[in-house]
Amino acid sequence: MITLALIFGGRSAEHEISLSSARFVAANLDPGRYRVVPVGILPSGGWVMPADMDAALRDGLSSTPSEPVALSVDPRRPGLVTAAGASIPLDFVFPILHGTFGEDGTIQGLLEMAGVAYAGAGVLGSAVGMDKELMKAAFTVAELPQIDYLVARDSANDLAAVVVSVEDGFEYPVFVKPANLGSSVGMTKAHNRGELRTALQLAFSYDRKVIVEAFVAGRELECAVLGNESPEASIPGEVRAANEFYDYEAKYTDGMMEFHIPAPLTREQTSEVRDLAVQAFLAIDCAGFARCDFFVDGDGKVLVNEINTIPGMTSMSAFPRLWEATGVDGPALVDRIVRLGQERFALRAALSTTR
């Protein structure tokens, strides 16, 4: 029996999405193989162990009594420590946290210090995958085809100068988004100068770096990846949003988007998307699992948009649906993610830390 801490919630604008994703993971953890210890991170940052995991995931962390808990950072005794001083040994941690303080390498660094195996990418892969500027730089080095973009820094800067730079480089509309956030939070499609200024102000309220991307008139594709050194890609799917673009509402509201699996592509395009997804995964030193997003422009050219190192796993999310269509159901998918984390941990544990 593997004692597994499922960590959800988080100090992020994507807190509620994490609860939905954790419901999927919890439902697909084999009770004959895993003893699940629920750990919720409050929006304030506090760690608690809810008395009723189902209630916490369904109705929020405030819906059930909970006990404060902390992660022991002593690698000789990996586990949790309760407020009463009791120790809960852990074999594995599954952080299903989206956005800041969960997907950006911060909790991964804590887990590395604690000496416990965990699911997903490590510190570097998580940090690079989260920061869209560094992610795009890694894709450039790997010579992956991308959308044209620019980076604006610091909200204290003169927005007028940023507007000039954008208008010098792009035609309207453009997409504006925080560099370190997901689920399209803080993202805007700006059609003119006034909307651009508003979009920049919104994005800067979430991050000190903002990405402005050229608009691509085409199709949106998603492809899921599993693996460590030799990753594999799922069959691709195509997103068709009811809104003008695939925003937060379209992603998480029933009836606001259609997801076609498999994506209606030529055999060559399908192969290219799967190959590029693997290349993007390797380019940022990812591990375990991820979802890679693409555009196909009007000429049929496939462009890499971004990679998500802890993709959404809600009932509407692409990642589990893509793997199910590829032949990997929910329990097998979650189990494989755990095994990949264990394999990565074993390899790192065998490395020397002395001279």
pLDDT at 143: 97
Q: What is residue 326's three-state secondary structure?
A: helix
156-188 residue pLDDT tens = 568 888 899 899 989 999 999 998 875 567 789
pLDDT at 182: 59
pLDDT at 247: 46
The average confidence (pLDDT) of the chain is 91
Boundaries of CATH 3.30.470.20 in the chain?
128-145+217-328+339-346
CATH 3.40.50.20 for domain 2-118, yes or no, is: yes
Phi and psi at 39, nearest 5°, equal: -130, 115
Query: What are the tokens at 249?
Result: 């509402």
pLDDT at 160: 85
On the question of pLDDT at 80 being above 60, the answer is yes
pLDDT at 155: 62
Contacts for 207 with CB less than 8 Å, ≥ 6 apart: 178, 179, 180, 181, 186
When pLDDT is averaged across residues 337-342 and rounded to a whole number, the result is 98
Any idea which architecture 149-214 has in CATH? 2-Layer Sandwich (3.30)
Band of the pLDDT at 330, cuts 50, 70, 90?
very high
Boundaries of CATH 3.40.50.20 in the chain?
2-118
Report yes or no: 302 and 272 within 8 Å, Cβ to Cβ: yes
When pLDDT is averaged across residues 329-343 and rounded to a whole number, the result is 97
Boundaries of CATH 3.30.1490.20 in the chain?
149-214
pLDDT at 254: 58
Q: How many residues does the chain have?
A: 355
Considering the chain, what percentage of its residues have pLDDT values greater than 70?
Answer: 94
CA R_g for the chain: 20
Considering the chain, what percentage of its residues have pLDDT values greater than 90?
Answer: 77
pLDDT at 89: 95
Query: What are the tokens at 79?
Result: 């586990």
pLDDT at 166: 93
pLDDT at 289: 98
CATH superfamily of 128-145+217-328+339-346: ATP-grasp fold, B domain (3.30.470.20)
On the question of pLDDT at 118 being above 50, the answer is yes
pLDDT at 258: 87
* Burial of 71 (C-beta count, 10 Å sphere; 0-12/13-18/19+): buried
Q: For residues 112 and 67, give the distance between their C-alpha atoms in angstroms, rounded to a whole number.
A: 24
